[in-house]
Amino acid sequence: AVPRFHAAVDLGASSGRVMLGRWADGRLSLIEVHRFPNGPITQDGRLRWDAERLFEETLVGLAEAVRIAEAAGGVLDGIGIDSWGVDIALVGVGTGTAFPSGLASRFPTVPHHRGADADGPARAAVLVDAATAYAVTGVLEQTINTSYQLRSRAEELDVRRADGGRPTVLLVPDLWVWLLTGVVGAERTIASTTQLLDQGTGDWAAELIRRWGLDGFDFPPVVAPGTVAGPTTPEVTARLGSSVPIPVHRVAEHDTASALAFARPHGAELLVSSGSWSLVGVCLPAAVLTEHARAAGFTNEAGVAGSSLLLRNLAGMWLLTECARAWSAEDGSAVDLVDLVAAVSEMEGDAATDVTPAVFDVADPRLLVPGDMPERIATLCRETGQRPPGGRSDVVRTVVESLAVAYAETVRACEAITGVTIRSVRIVGGGSRNRLLCARTAARTGLPVTAGPAEASALGNLAVQLVAAGHAPSLDTVYRHGQDDHDDHDHERTPT
Ligand code: LRH
């Protein structure tokens, strides 16, 4: 059979990557063709993403994907983009501006959600309270939401300008699709992170948008995942060195939805998408818009194939990457987190690690912004009367234990909301490589834990493309017959 090549661009908060999938004989093989670092940068006194560099890196990776596909006698049949949620660029669309000529001098800036105003939810609540917004959108009042970010930008921009021009709101992966194709749209899974999508109609919540003073923005049409946005523009096609334009797919553009694209809507498995954030919860047939779900700290986000994800948005590997950043500054040289976590995993079970580590609330808002993470963690432990972790390995154990405790508590909270007993845990994403986290989650939940795939978002991205193109019969076939560079390993139930 002719090999089919598809590229997944997966933009994560600490690194981005371009993965090339080759589908042949009912199997998907995945290779990483390009990986590049990511993180917040400060520009004009504000926390932002280095969007222009990230887009350049994307083009470098895609050009390499084209080269590999063509060298193998094939072509690149599709490109899909997924990224973190909530963050946006404002662009003035309408005149067929295409990358790179028209945009080189004014690449859109993308503020980082970790720099969002802390009082956004309180100020918005004066106009529409959080409970009302939840009943419409299913999204919790988190400072990072697009809704609050847009309210701040509306104030800055005074969008009701006399010329009537309305800036268009593009979430990060929709911005990438626009830069590649010139086509404007709002893919449903990524749009569901905004707190501006109506769960009932599946469209923008027009009244909420008006009452929050956001009707001076243009919101593009909502499109379902599993469609094609359009072909690459001539400029992009040439830049990628491709002999033909490449179809750009609307995949599940939210990385969480892509990572969990294998999940069936039954609520009996706790899903953990573990990257910079930990998204923890269950896949259900429909959103849960009750006060109970809101009070318990759950948000509803769109999954693939009409499914709904009931999730807590908790801190994740961000806690460790920020610790590593602080320690690297202290040492004057880079601290390797992977090595440190591996060393701590090996110590597990030693007499020295008999004492249960201190545990803190991973949802504490003080952990959201960049800063001296080891010191903040020590403060949280002291506030609850615990001895703060001593050395670096103790800090790692405390972070991992606190995440496992939060996951275990989420099992109980999901069961109370859905009435469905949770029988297993599945951890996907980069954090699934953290053996200590998987083992401690098994211990704290008392449930069997399956770890991997680590590149779940890229796999889901490719799966949606392959099903949409008619190559693969179903999403879970791609997961079952997909390989990445990670061995799945199961963790035995171990008593706490
Ligand atoms: C995970 C995620 C999550 C949050 C955050 C901003 O990558 O998309 O769902 O909303 O990033």
86-128 residue pLDDT tens:
999 988 743 334 344 344 446 888 999 999 999 999 999 999 9
- In the chain, the amino acid numbered 56 is E
Lateral strand order in the sheet of 4-11: 227-231, 247-250, 76-83, 4-11, 15-24, 27-37, 482-483
What's the rounded mean pLDDT across residues 438-445? 97
Q: Which of 88, 139, 140, 254 for mutating ligand 1's site (highest number of atoms within 8 Å of CB)?
A: 254
12 Cα: distance to centroid of ligand 1 (angstroms)? 9
Q: Which of 82, 141, 197, 255 for mutating ligand 1's site (highest number of atoms within 8 Å of CB)?
A: 255
Q: How far apart are the first and last CA of the chain?
A: 51
Ligand 1, atom 1: nearest CA belongs to which residue? 84
Pairing state between β 269-274 and 247-250: unpaired
Q: Which residues line ligand 1 (CB under 6 A)?
A: 84-86, 113, 144, 193, 254-256, 275, 277, 279, 313
Q: Which of 113-122, 342-351, 393-402, 426-435 has the lowest mean pLDDT?
A: 342-351
User: Tell me: the pLDDT tens digits for 154-213?
Assistant: 877 765 555 566 888 999 999 999 999 999 999 999 999 999 999 999 999 999 999 999
> Is residue 389 within 8 Å of 377, Cβ to Cβ?
yes
Proportion of the chain above pLDDT 90, given as a percent? 83
95 Cα: distance to centroid of ligand 1 (angstroms)? 32
- Residue 362 structure tokens: 């991973």
Return all residues near 5 (Cβ < 8 A) that are at least 6 apart. 20, 21, 22, 23, 65, 68, 69, 72, 74, 75, 76, 77
What size, in residues, is the chain?
496
User: Tell me: the pLDDT tens digits for 288-307?
Assistant: 999 999 999 999 999 999 99
Collapsed DSSP state (helix, strand, coil) of residue 310: strand
Q: Helix 392-418 vs helix 337-347: angle between axes, to the nearest 10 degrees?
A: 80
349 Cα: distance to centroid of ligand 1 (angstroms)? 34
Ligand 1, atom 9: nearest CA belongs to which residue? 85
Closest CA to 119 of 365, 380, 370, 383: 365
Atom of ligand 1 nearest to the CA of 301: 9
Positions marked active-site: 255
106 Cα: distance to centroid of ligand 1 (angstroms)? 26
Cis peptide before 453 (omega within 30 of 0): yes
**Residue 471: other Cβ atoms inside 10 A:** 18
Ligand 1, atom 11: nearest CA belongs to which residue? 84
φ, ψ (nearest 5 deg) of residue 88: -140, 160
User: Tell me: the pLDDT tens digits for 72-90?
Assistant: 999 999 999 999 999 999 8
Distance CA 200, CA 83 (A): 25
ipTM confidence score: 0.94
- How far, CA to CA in Å, does 94 sit from each of 98, 153, 214, 248? 11, 21, 20, 20
User: Tell me: the pLDDT tens digits for 455-474?
Assistant: 999 999 999 999 999 999 99
